[in-house]
Amino acid sequence: MLRVFRARLGVSFLFALFFFSSVSAQTPAASTAILREIHVEGLKTLPEAQIVALTGLQQGSQVGKADLQTAADRLLQSGMFAKVNYKYDTRAEELTLTFQLQEAPRVPVYFDNLPWFSDSELNDAIRAKLSFFDGTLPEAGAALDQAADAVNALLASRQLKVTVEHQLIANPIGDGNVQEFHVQDVSFAIATVEFGDPSLSSSPVVRQALSAVQGKPYSRMTIDLFLAEQVRPLYLQRGYLRVKLGPPQIRLTGNPNQTLPEQLPIFVPVATGGLYHWKEPQWSGNSVLSSITLSNELGLKPGDVANGMQIEAGWDRAREEYGHRGYLDAKIDPVVSYDDQAHTVSYAVTVAEGAQYHYNTMVLTGLSLDAERLLLQKWPTEAGAIFDKAIFEQFLIKLESHPAEIFGELPLHYDTVGHWLRTDPAKQSVDVLLDFK
């Protein structure tokens, strides 16, 4: 007999079937059976044995309908799975159970201001409680709370009277989100920052930027943002595209068990990697703009030092060139390839140009009728014309910085201008929406 139950987040679970039936029609229906086997389908990263452990079920135990539902609920509430279904097959008095799972997205863990422990110590504490922990956790759910409990237990083992909190935030040094762990009301400060590359300490740019970090409350995020925004560009400009900065370390001398000082010296390891030179990119999917035109936007010739900052700005200029021609949805996707023997970097760039948009109308809110009339007179694009995003952005600058060029001496009472483009791909038209506040 094959039975299927489904459990989904936010949906009530309805169970109206008889649970087990006996071999003999004359024997009354049994309410439990021996759990002979547990299987899991749909896993991509998590081992089956660890999922079975999460269910709380034991092979060989006597289980009923409520036990199976409790196990499914436990998996769903862990946050590790977006969907949890299960089915079972009964033979005689034994049951084979199969969970059908869809894993939920997970994000990296980021430890902000826990200076008493290294990342490895914190990771080990979480892994001791959650055997499947690999440096990532779901965005919500019981597994996340259990990870926080593990860190709190580690803090308590050192008699530290602080409590760790967690929140989902944008990755300060990369794409996507991270699950940040931090504590409140810590009095530590960043005393100094030294680097594995001595040339940084003598750089006027770095010395000036350090004033924004030294003396501030200790925070890994503060240090990582400083490295990403102030230090990394110095290497990228010189062609060190794979430079590795950090992770930052607290460098103390003396008894390692002593109480931490309030002023913490920070050391940042630096691995510059190789210096790369530019190799012509390969474009695909482009028809409106030629590969030569797009390559010229990057401003680099084959053999040039691969200035990483210039490369990133070049992708933006290529996108802006499409916007200048009305292709507001154009997407440029560069995929990098490093040749460590030739010391070159190349890109395979896929372009999705999308529709070309024409200007339709403007919707204004927050202005008087006289101000609306003046603005529409100065708007440079006629209905039906190709929409030039660059002209639109120049017009916004005038509205925000030089309103007299549009409104003359007319009294105005706005501080900000909200602006949106409402596109209609089917009609290939775009409306401009401006909200004055």
Q: Tell me what the mean pLDDT of segment 341-365 comes to.
A: 96
Both 6 and 99 in one domain: the answer is: yes
pLDDT above 90 (res 351): yes
**pLDDT 10s digits, 72-83:** 999 999 999 999
Write 225-230 long-range contacts (CB < 8 A, 24+): 225/172, 225/173, 226/193, 227/173, 227/268, 228/172, 228/173, 230/205, 230/206
- pTM for the structure as a whole: 0.77
pLDDT above 50 (res 29): no
pLDDT above 70 (res 261): yes
User: At 91, is the pLDDT very low, low, confident or very high (cuts 50, 70, 90)?
Assistant: confident
User: At 255, is the pLDDT very low, low, confident or very high (cuts 50, 70, 90)?
Assistant: low
Q: CATH code at 225?
A: 3.10.20
Both 202 and 166 in one domain: the answer is: no
Both 415 and 371 in one domain: the answer is: yes
30-39, 222-231, 308-317, 373-382: least confidently modelled range: 30-39
The answer for residues whose C-beta is within 8 angstroms of residue 97's C-beta and 6 or more apart is 35, 37, 38, 39, 57, 68, 86, 87, 88
Both 99 and 113 in one domain: the answer is: no
State the sign of the Cα–Cα–Cα–Cα dihedral 228, 234, 239, 242: negative
C-alpha distances in Å from residue 297, one per residue of 178, 192, 301, 345, 435: 33, 41, 11, 17, 34
pLDDT at 45: 84
Both 323 and 416 in one domain: the answer is: no
Q: What is the span of the domain harbouring residue 400?
A: 358-436
* Percentage of residues in the chain having pLDDT higher than 70: 92
Q: List beta partners, residue 98.
A: 39, 87
Which of 183, 215, 230 is a domain's end point? Answer: 183
Give yes or no for a contact between 102 and 44, defined as CB atoms under 8 angstroms apart.
Answer: no
Both 21 and 93 in one domain: the answer is: yes
Bridge pairing between strands 417-424 and 2-8? unpaired
Q: Tell me what the mean pLDDT of segment 339-365 comes to.
A: 96
pLDDT at 50: 85
Which of 143, 165, 183 is a domain's end point? Answer: 183
pLDDT at 187: 85
Quote the mean pLDDT of the chain. 89
pLDDT above 70 (res 9): no
pLDDT above 90 (res 127): yes
Strand runs labelled E in 237-330: 244-245, 249-250, 263-268, 270-271, 277-278, 282-284
Both 14 and 96 in one domain: the answer is: yes
Both 248 and 294 in one domain: the answer is: no
pLDDT above 80 (res 18): no
User: At 256, is the pLDDT very low, low, confident or very high (cuts 50, 70, 90)?
Assistant: low
* Percentage of residues in the chain having pLDDT higher than 90: 73
Both 84 and 50 in one domain: the answer is: yes
Give yes or no for a contact between 295 and 270, defined as CB atoms under 8 angstroms apart.
Answer: no
Q: Tell me what the mean pLDDT of segment 399-416 comes to.
A: 89
15-19, 26-30, 188-192, 396-400: least confidently modelled range: 15-19
Both 79 and 50 in one domain: the answer is: yes
Q: CATH code at 58?
A: 3.10.20.310
pLDDT at 6: 41
10-24, 368-382, 415-429: least confidently modelled range: 10-24
pLDDT at 32: 87
Q: How many domains does the chain have?
A: 5
Of 164 and 202, the one with more pLDDT: 164
Q: Tell me what the mean pLDDT of segment 217-237 comes to.
A: 94
Which of 352, 372, 404 is a domain's end point? Answer: 352
Give yes or no for a contact between 134 and 108, defined as CB atoms under 8 angstroms apart.
Answer: no
Give yes or no for a contact between 347 and 338, defined as CB atoms under 8 angstroms apart.
Answer: no
Q: Tell me what the mean pLDDT of segment 206-221 comes to.
A: 92
pLDDT above 50 (res 17): no
Both 177 and 196 in one domain: the answer is: no
**pLDDT 10s digits, 316-346:** 999 999 999 999 999 999 999 999 999 999 9
- Produce one character per residue of 120-132: b if its CB has 16 or more CB atoms within 10 Å, e if not: eebbebbeeebeb
215-219, 332-336, 411-415, 417-421: least confidently modelled range: 411-415
pLDDT at 27: 34
Of 114 and 28, the one with more pLDDT: 114
Both 264 and 316 in one domain: the answer is: no
